[in-house]
């Protein structure tokens, strides 16, 4: 049996057409922060429908966690790319031409782009911070009025002062991770139609019910008057969440009295949503024997001009930043900060990659200072069943030690540690949350599953159909699963956080049981309670934990700073596997995306404008960018729960690679790891070695796994010779940087 | 202007602007929605079609330049082509958006190199991006298709 993906028959929201439909385009601000002094659309021909700020000024504010967005910018624009006007015409080309006929005058305002700077001082992006009633604002929000901090989350566990007082060894470092673009192959697309006072929207979205809530709020109509249908997405990774284009499409459709569709141009993706750039400051203290005693973390998540789910990202970045370790004294302050960059939001991992990078790099810094094996240091402090995490919750069904050991074994850690790095991670699943599902039987022996879980390629639909088939005792072909439609399916929190297979699977068991009792239709619902006190971080961070680890082996060309990942292995805890190829695809895809994050993905800005908004200047991994050996494991447990796998293998990848470089004395704090940053780190290392009285080493041109072919020759050389080498090295340095720049990005010719 | 095209074996003259790329014409005039735009600048391969058998990015090919040439999209393969079967067997896709372009490129690869090495597959598919990151299984699928298309070589090779 063929599959609509290989015949090209699968239809995405960009493919949907309705009779008489118009095509829309958006006019965006060229300035990162400016007052709008005039919008003149009088030159636009009459057959083109125009939407200007004045048209939408009476509509409601929206935002999934903070209510800070309007359909079009009102009074001022807050980022270069902020929508100011929109047009709809019979063809996309005609709409594009009309955009050029709209005149907008701006008075530029001072702008701020760095999160730590914006948090401390800097021009206010929003004068007032209002909380959202959307149920995506599911935790205690702590906006700091009169500042750019739209949420501040804290953990206060133990006594941080006395904790560091007990420490024999303390390490401290500041880390930076760049913004990234989701770059789903299918761009954002939404089609809106009004039937009387009811709104229908077809949109590739992970969040049908949240989108419905916000649209109802914008138009001041009951939620039941808004219908959201979610066709399959051509990838999303967090990008297609909450209201993106739907509100503009709906306003144009209402004004035109015709269905209206928007499909974003590729460059607009970078102006719509990216991953949070983050700065993390970590201080970690331990006893001489490696026992961790205190950890202090400060996070600044740069959420851009609108909060979106940035508060949630900052909270998760904060509560996962201690890592899967027993630490008696923990102090965390995590901030979601407004700046004049494009909005940043959910991105596969939801803050997890950023905090795992900082946390796991720091463990290796500490191991170095303690002169301890990084594996041994981790295992000594790792959380086990029955241990208490810093949020106060007791851990159960955790497998961190096993995952770490499997990662280490895959790179033959016990033979030598040269050019090798490890990472272990704990990641929460959204808590609290609710999932419900209905199963309907028809006369011909077929069943229909009605649920809001959206398909974006992650295979949730197949997993749920397989589970339903097993529970019902029928072939999977007998189980239908129509596109999520808020008029037809019961409520679900959303398709995020790798929660769907786990939560819907449990709800499905109840629904099938109910069906057996009632005959025609069964309904099942699961509610996971919990949540954290935002001021102390105490409570239940996660009703169950995602657990992953990784090991990497690298080889470095020390003349240019170029390096390659020879081997990457990621064991993850799967609990119970429903669809094995699908589970493998999640791991492989996560790891490959992690390689992009580690090696080259970075949204770059020049004065607040994205400077690489295309897939030539912004590289995503191609087949040839994979490590030479890429392997993973799905660790299963008897009678274990199903664990979502959509994100688990991504966050451990960059730290494993960073730590592999660290094993060679190459200390990297920023992501992505460019050849320049490696070269700089090599220079710093060599200067330090030269300064110290330790004998220097003559080394092969490449370092890392290649070195294992033979014992590395070590010579004690006179201090004077080393000093001479340093002088020559410094002279050559600028030439080497030039060479490295030519080599970046390291991509296959296409 | 009227442009004569041969699309999936059918000879048709279509109305197109002289500056219009083949991608838009195939979608609009022929309803061939397997041809999809992602990057719009010829680096991602989502809009790959075969022009006289060669993989070409339809987002960069001006329609008049395709006049009279043989254009193949995945719709014409029917679903039972060895490369399509191999992609299904290996589950070499997630969202499926890049899959038609990937299949057409792989088809041409196997015509040029019936038994490609892993490195050759990675290089040949360098112009087809999969953001879901299915490359491990895509490479597996190409190997499967190679084995299926050339079973005798496979046997003689062992």
Among candidates B74, B77, B94 on the partner chain, residue whose Cβ is nearest the Cβ of A589: B94
The number of domains in chain A is 2
Q: Using one digit for the tens of pLDDT, what is the confidence trace for B62-105?
A: 999 999 999 999 999 999 999 999 999 999 999 999 999 999 99
In the predicted structure, residue A717 carries a pLDDT above the cut 80: no
Residues 6+ apart with CB under 8 A from A740: A560, A561, A562, A674, A675, A676, A679
User: CA-CA distance, A255 to A248, in Å (whole number)?
Assistant: 11
Chain A interface disruption, residue of B33, B136, B140, most A CBs within 10 A: B136
The pLDDT-based confidence of A702 (bands split at 50, 70, 90) is confident
For the segment A55-73, the average pLDDT, to the nearest whole number, is 98
B34 and A620 within 8 Å at the Cβ level: the answer is: no
pLDDT at A701: 74
**Structural domain includes residue A612:** no
Q: Using one digit for the tens of pLDDT, what is the confidence trace for A178-201?
A: 999 999 999 999 999 999 999 999
User: CA-CA distance, A29 to A9, in Å (whole number)?
Assistant: 37
Which residue has tokens 């080394």?
A699
User: CA-CA distance, B124 to A624, in Å (whole number)?
Assistant: 9
User: CA-CA distance, A214 to A92, in Å (whole number)?
Assistant: 27
Residues 6+ apart with CB under 8 A from A17: A261
Share of chain A above pLDDT 70, in %: 93
- Contact in structure between A471 and A509 (CB atoms under 8 Å): yes
Looking at residue A486, which CATH number applies to its domain?
A: 3.30.365.10
- Contact in structure between A643 and A398 (CB atoms under 8 Å): no
Mean pLDDT of chain A: 93
Exposure string for A302-329, b = 16+ CB within 10 A, e = fewer: bbbbbbbbbbbbbbbbbbbbbbbbbbbb
pLDDT at A704: 76
Instruction: Pick the last residue of a domain from A477, A499, A528.
Output: A528
**Structural domain includes residue A738:** yes
In the predicted structure, residue A734 carries a pLDDT above the cut 60: no
Share of chain B above pLDDT 70, in %: 94
Chain B interface disruption, residue of A1, A2, A3, A8, most B CBs within 10 A: A8
The continuous run of DSSP H or E covering A334 comes out as: strand A329-338
pLDDT at A519: 86
Other Cβ atoms closer than 10 A to A732: 12
Q: Using one digit for the tens of pLDDT, what is the confidence trace for A317-365?
A: 999 999 999 999 999 999 999 999 999 999 999 999 999 999 999 999 9
For the segment A266-291, the average pLDDT, to the nearest whole number, is 98
pLDDT at A121: 87
pLDDT at A176: 98
**Structural domain includes residue A55:** no
pLDDT at B158: 36
Return residues 562-601 of A near B (CB < 8 Å): 581-582, 584-585, 588-593
A623 and B133 within 8 Å at the Cβ level: the answer is: no
**Structural domain includes residue A704:** yes
Q: Is A332 helix (H, G, I), strand (E, B) or coil?
A: strand
A309 touches chain B (CB under 8 A): no
DSSP string, A659-722: HHHHTTT----EES--HHHHHHHHHHHHHHHHHSSSPP----SEEEGGGGGSPPP-----HHHH
**Structural domain includes residue A290:** no
Instruction: Pick the last residue of a domain from A528, A555, A570.
Output: A528
B94 and A9 within 8 Å at the Cβ level: the answer is: no
Instruction: Pick the last residue of a domain from A479, A507, A528.
Output: A528
**Integer angstrom CA distances of residue A626 from A360, A596, A622, A747, B44:** 23, 9, 7, 11, 16
Exposure string for A494-519, b = 16+ CB within 10 A, e = fewer: bbbbbbbbbbbbbbbbbbbebbeeee
In the predicted structure, residue A667 carries a pLDDT above the cut 50: yes
pLDDT at A745: 37
A626 touches chain B (CB under 8 A): yes
pLDDT at A711: 35
Q: Using one digit for the tens of pLDDT, what is the confidence trace for A132-177?
A: 999 999 999 999 999 999 999 999 999 999 999 999 999 999 999 9
At A680, phi and psi to the nearest 5? -60, -45
The pLDDT-based confidence of A695 (bands split at 50, 70, 90) is low
Nearest Cα of chain A lies from the Cα of B52 at a distance, in angstroms, of: 20
**Structural domain includes residue A452:** yes
**Structural domain includes residue A403:** no
Chain B residue nearest residue A237, CA to CA: B132
**Structural domain includes residue A97:** no
The pLDDT-based confidence of A697 (bands split at 50, 70, 90) is low
- Contact in structure between A690 and A705 (CB atoms under 8 Å): no
Q: Using one digit for the tens of pLDDT, what is the confidence trace for A511-529?
A: 999 999 988 999 999 999 9
In the predicted structure, residue B156 carries a pLDDT above the cut 70: no
Q: Using one digit for the tens of pLDDT, what is the confidence trace for A97-115?
A: 999 999 999 999 999 999 9
**Strand A274-275 to A344-345 pairing:** parallel
pLDDT at B149: 79
Residues of B in contact with A615 (CB under 8 A): 38-39, 41, 43-44, 129
Alpha helix positions (H), A519-602: 580-599
| Domain extent for A725 | 685-749
Angle (CA) B127-B131-B137 rounded to 5° is: 80
Residues of B in contact with A589 (CB under 8 A): 94, 132-134
A187 touches chain B (CB under 8 A): yes
In the predicted structure, residue A731 carries a pLDDT above the cut 60: no
A623 and B132 within 8 Å at the Cβ level: the answer is: no
pLDDT at A679: 98
């Amino acid at each position: 049996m063929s599959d609509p993906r290989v015949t090209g028959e699968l239809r995405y929201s960009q493919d949907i057409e309705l009779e008489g439909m118009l095509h829309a385009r958006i006019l965006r601000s060229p300035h990162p922060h400016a007052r709008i002094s005039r919008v003149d659309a009088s030159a636009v021909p009459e057959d083109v429908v125009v939407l200007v700020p004045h048209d939408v000024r009476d509509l409601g504010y929206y935002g999934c966690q903070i209510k800070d967005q309007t359909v079009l910018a009102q009074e001022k624009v807050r980022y270069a790319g902020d929508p100011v006007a929109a047009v709809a015409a019979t063809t996309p080309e005609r709409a594009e031409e009309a955009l050029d006929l709209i005149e907008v005058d701006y008075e530029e305002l001072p702008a701020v782009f760095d999160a730590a700077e914006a948090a401390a001082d800097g021009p206010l992006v929003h004068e007032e911070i209002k909380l959202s009633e959307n149920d995506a604002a599911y935790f205690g929000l702590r906006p700091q009025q009169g500042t750019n901090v739209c949420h501040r989350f804290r953990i206060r566990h133990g006594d941080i002062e006395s904790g560091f007082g007990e420490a024999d060894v303390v390490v401290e470092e500041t880390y930076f991770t760049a913004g990234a673009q989701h770059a789903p192959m299918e761009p954002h697309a939404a089609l809106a139609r009004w039937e009387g006072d009811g709104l229908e929207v077809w949109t590739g979205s992970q969040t049908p019910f949240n989108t419905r809530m916000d649209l109802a709020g914008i138009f001041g109509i009951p939620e039941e008057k808004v219908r959201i249908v979610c066709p399959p997405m051509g990838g999303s990774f967090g990008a297609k969440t909450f209201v993106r284009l739907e509100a503009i499409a709906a306003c144009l459709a209402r004004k035109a009295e015709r269905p209206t569709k928007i499909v974003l141009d590729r460059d607009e993706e970078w102006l719509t949503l990216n991953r949070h750039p983050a700065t993390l400051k970590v201080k970690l203290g331990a006893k001489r024997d490696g026992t961790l005693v205190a950890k202090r973390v400060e996070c600044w998540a740069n959420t851009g001009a609108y909060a979106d789910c940035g508060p949630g990202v900052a909270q998760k970045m904060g509560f996962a930043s201690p890592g899967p370790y027993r630490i008696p004294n923990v102090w965390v302050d995590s901030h979601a900060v407004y700046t004049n960059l494009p909005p940043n939001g959910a991105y596969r991992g939801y803050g997890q990659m950023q905090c795992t990078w900082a946390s796991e790099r720091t463990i290796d810094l500490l191991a170095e200072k303690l002169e301890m094996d990084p594996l041994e240091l981790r295992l000594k402090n790792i959380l086990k069943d029955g241990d208490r995490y810093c949020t106060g919750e007791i851990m159960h069904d955790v497998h961190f030690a096993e995952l770490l050991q499997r990662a280490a074994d895959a790179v033959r850690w016990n033979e030598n540690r040269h050019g090798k790095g490890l990472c272990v991670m704990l990641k929460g699943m959204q808590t609290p949350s609710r999932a419900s599902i209905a199963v309907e039987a028809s006369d011909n022996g077929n069943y229909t599953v009605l649920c809001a879980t959206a398909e974006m390629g992650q295979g949730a639909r197949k997993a749920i159909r397989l589970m339903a088939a097993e529970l019902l005792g029928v072939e999977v072909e007998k189980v239908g699963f129509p596109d999520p439609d808020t008029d037809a399916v019961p409520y679900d929190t959303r398709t995020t956080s790798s929660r769907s297979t786990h939560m819907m699977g449990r709800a499905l068991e109840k629904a099938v049981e109910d069906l057996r009792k009632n005959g025609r239709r069964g309904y099942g619902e699961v509610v996971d309670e919990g949540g954290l006190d935002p001021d102390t971080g105490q409570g239940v961070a996660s009703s169950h934990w995602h657990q992953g680890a990784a090991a990497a082996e690298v080889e470095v060309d020390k003349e240019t700073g170029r390096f390659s990942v020879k081997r990457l292995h990621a064991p993850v805890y799967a609990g119970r596997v429903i669809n094995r190829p699908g589970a493998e695809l999640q791991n492989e895809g996560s790891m490959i995306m992690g390689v992009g994050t580690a090696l080259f993905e970075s949204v770059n800005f020049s004065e607040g404008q994205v400077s690489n908004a295309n897939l030539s200047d912004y590289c995503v991994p191609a087949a040839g960018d994979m490590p030479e050996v890429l392997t993973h494991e799905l660790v299963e447990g008897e009678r274990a729960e199903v664990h979502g796998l959509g994100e688990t293998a991504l966050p451990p990848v960059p730290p494993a690679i960073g730590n592999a470089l660290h094993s060679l004395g190459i200390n990297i704090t920023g992501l992505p790891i460019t050849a320049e940053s490696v070269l700089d780190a090599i220079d710093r290392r060599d200067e330090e070695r030269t300064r110290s009285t330790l004998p220097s080493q003559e080394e092969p041109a490449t370092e890392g796994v290649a070195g294992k072919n033979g014992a590395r020759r070590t010579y004690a050389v006179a201090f004077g010779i080393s000093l001479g080498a340093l002088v020559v090295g410094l002279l050559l340095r600028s030439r080497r940087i030039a060479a490295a720049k030519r080599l970046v990005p390291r991509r296959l010719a296409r | 202007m009227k442009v004569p095209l041969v699309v999936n074996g059918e000879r048709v003259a279509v109305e197109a602007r002289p500056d219009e790329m083949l991608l838009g014409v195939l979608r609009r005039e022929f309803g061939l929605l397997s041809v999809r735009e992602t990057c719009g600048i010829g680096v991602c391969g989502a809009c790959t079609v075969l022009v006289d058998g060669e993989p070409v990015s339809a987002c960069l090919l001006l329609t008049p330049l395709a006049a009279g040439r043989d254009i193949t999209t995945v719709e014409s393969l029917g679903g039972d082509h060895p490369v399509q079967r191999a992609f299904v067997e290996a589950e070499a896709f997630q969202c499926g958006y890049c899959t038609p372009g990937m299949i057409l490129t792989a088809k041409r690869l196997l015509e040029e190199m019936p038994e490609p090495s892993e490195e050759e597959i990675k290089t040949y598919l360098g112009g087809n991006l999969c953001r879901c990151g299915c490359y491990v299984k895509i490479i597996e699928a190409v190997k499967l298709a190679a084995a299926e298309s050339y079973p005798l070589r496979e046997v003689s090779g062992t």
